[in-house]
Structures are given as structure tokens and as C-alpha cells.
Amino acid sequence: MIEARAITKRYKDGTLALDGVNFTLNKKTTSIIGRNGAGKTTLLRILSTQLLPTSGTASINGLDVVKAAQDVRNIIVSIPQESKPINYLSPLDNVVLYLSARRMRMSEAKEAAEKAIKTVGLWKVREKISDELSGGMKRKIFVAMAIASKSDVVFLDEPTTGLDPLSRIEVWSAIKAIKGQVILTTHYMEEAQALSDDVLMMDKGKILSQGKVGDLLKPFKGKVRVESTKKKSHSYKVGNTYISYIGKNEAEASVMVGDIIKPITLDDLFIKRGVELEY
Ligand SMILES: Nc1ncnc2c1ncn2[C@@H]1O[C@H](COP(=O)(O)OP(=O)(O)OP(=O)(O)O)[C@@H](O)[C@H]1O
Ligand SMILES: [Mg+2]
């Protein structure tokens, strides 16, 4: 379980990246969503003891991330945004090296690494030089590290950014194989929907909403999204497109040539909240 109380982070240059953040995360997997610069990475870095908050407190399974940082490090694993494996080592060696850095015994490390490499689907390329792997395979090495470390809590910052749709689905199933609690950030709403029991939505250093995907989407129940080049009543302007949310039947009756009707996804929560806050 992860608890944050009034966490604030002001960087040296004055940027207020987190502005009094409060939450409890106790579901198996939580996705943190929010626009570029919302504060997601800052939050993960504080929770994973890599950055000190300016004020406020946070704890992981009852351990304070500042006062008991070393104890927290023993029970978590954190995969930073855009992390790269050591290129001249194989996937297997990357994982073994990581586990031995965590002071796991060599025999145990080898066994755990092999098992995790199998779980994430890298067994065939386990001895290949990592430099010669695809982006998705490289990313899976880190998920294998998370699995093999047997940590209670795993932080993944944008684990599938830049991956093709198939690699992304492969990484998802690897993430599902993690036994501990998972906290991930993502810009892909279908990823948040596919992986998480709980979604935390952030903007400008604040929490906008938290809940199950289904609950967050309740305001859109029975509706569809209509994208139009023409202004409609109650439409949101995004770029040159007017987006409106209307009842399914009503949409069918009122669409015009060129309008696009789409089913509701988490994207819509994002669009609605984003536009409302901006204007
Ligand atoms: N080291 C730093 N010094 C100063 N400002 C920083 C630093 N790191 C981040 N920021 C600022 O803090 C704010 C939050 O950044 P953060 O990286 O946490 O956002 P994010 O939600 O992870 O964004 P993205 O989706 O682009 O990864 C931004 O305004 C950013 O410019
Ligand atoms: Mg980030």
C-alpha cells in the first residue's frame, strides 16, 4: 500500500511540479495518467526514493520514503522513463547483474533471472547482445528485472512508450506477470484500461481524479464521442475539431456528413478534463 500526504515538490528553478498531492494506492495495478509535465515522473521518483519532496510525507507498506529510504529500496524496484539495458550484455546477464547489485546470491539470481526471462518471452534471445534486440525486447528486459527482483512494489515510468502495438501487448502480459503491486505511468489510455484496477489522473501537479476506469467513465454512460469540423452545441474545440458527447440515438439522428462517431474511452475523460481546465 502506498500513501501520500500533502506531497509538494518545488524544483530549484522554482517549478512547482507537485502541489499538495494526497492519495492511497492499494490496488494491484495503478496507472497514473496526465499530460506532459503533469508531475508523473516527479511523483514516481519521490515514491521510489530518488528525489526528496519539498514537503509532505509518503510511505510504502508503512515505510516512510524519506526517513526509511533504505528499507523502502529493499522492497521496491523502479524502472525509469526511457531506461536502456547495458548494450554489450545479454538480456540474461543484464538481469543477473541487476539482481547481484541488489545483493541476491549468485545461484538464486541466475535461477530467478532465467525464470523471469522465460516469463517475458525473451528466452530465445537470452544470450544475444542487447544492442541487437528490438525496442520492445529491450523494454522487456526491465520487466524481467522487476519480476526477478520479487519486489513488493514495482514502479514503471512509461513502460511501453515508442513500442509498436504488438510489442506493447507483449509488454502488457509481462507486466501482468509481476506479482507485487504495480504503479505505472502511461500516455496510452487503452493501456491504462487494459492493465489497471485503479487510475490516478494528474494535471499541473495535482490529482484530478482517482478510481476504476468504469467509475471514471460513468459521466459518459450511454454516450458516444462525435468529432466534427463544425461547431455544435456543447462541443469542445480541440485544434480544428469540435468534440461533443451525445447520447447514442441522438448521435445517429444528428450526424452530418464528415462527422466521426467513436465509442467512449479514457481518452475522453482526458479530453474533457483537459479542455475544461484550459479554457
Ligand atoms: N530537474 C528538474 N528541474 C526543474 N524542473 C523540472 C525538473 N524535472 C521536471 N521538472 C518540471 O516539473 C514538471 C513536471 O515534470 P515531470 O517530469 O514530473 O512530468 P511528467 O508528468 O512525467 O511528464 P511526461 O509525460 O512528459 O513525462 C514539469 O514542468 C517539468 O518541466
Ligand atoms: Mg514523465
User: Which ligand minimizes its atom distance to the CA of 33?
Assistant: 1
Residue numbers of the domain that contains 177: 2-216
Same domain? For 187 and 269 the reply is: no
Q: Which residues contact 165 (CB under 8 A, 6 or more apart)?
A: none
Q: Closest ligand 1 atom to the C-alpha of 35?
A: 25
Residue nearest to atom 17 of ligand 1 (CA): 41
Same domain? For 145 and 162 the reply is: yes
Same domain? For 168 and 98 the reply is: yes
Same domain? For 48 and 25 the reply is: yes
Domain boundary at 216, 237, 269, which?
216
Indicate if ligand 1 lies below 6 Å from the C-beta of 14. Answer: no
Q: Give pLDDT, residue 278.
A: 61
Same domain? For 118 and 179 the reply is: yes
Same domain? For 152 and 272 the reply is: no
Same domain? For 203 and 248 the reply is: no
Q: Which residues contact 92 (CB under 8 A, 6 or more apart)?
A: 113, 114, 117, 126, 127
Indicate if ligand 1 lies below 6 Å from the C-beta of 41. Answer: yes
pLDDT digits (tens, 9 = 90+) for 16-54: 999 999 999 999 999 999 888 999 999 999 999 999 999
**How far is the CA of 77 from the CAs of 24, 194, 197, 252, 263, in angstroms?**
19, 22, 20, 49, 36
Same domain? For 31 and 100 the reply is: yes
Same domain? For 260 and 157 the reply is: no
Q: Give pLDDT, residue 277.
A: 64
Q: What is the pTM of this model?
A: 0.88
Same domain? For 209 and 235 the reply is: no
Q: Closest ligand 1 atom to the C-alpha of 45?
A: 18
Same domain? For 198 and 74 the reply is: yes
- Spacing of C-alpha 191 from chain mean position: 8
Low-confidence spans in the chain with pLDDT less than 50: 279
Q: Give pLDDT, residue 97.
A: 96
Indicate if ligand 1 lies below 6 Å from the C-beta of 82. Answer: no
Indicate if ligand 1 lies below 6 Å from the C-beta of 9. Answer: no
Distance 139 CA to ligand 2 centre (A): 16
Same domain? For 188 and 242 the reply is: no
Domain count, the chain: 2
Residue nearest to atom 6 of ligand 1 (CA): 11
Residue nearest to atom 8 of ligand 1 (CA): 42
Domain boundary at 164, 182, 216, which?
216
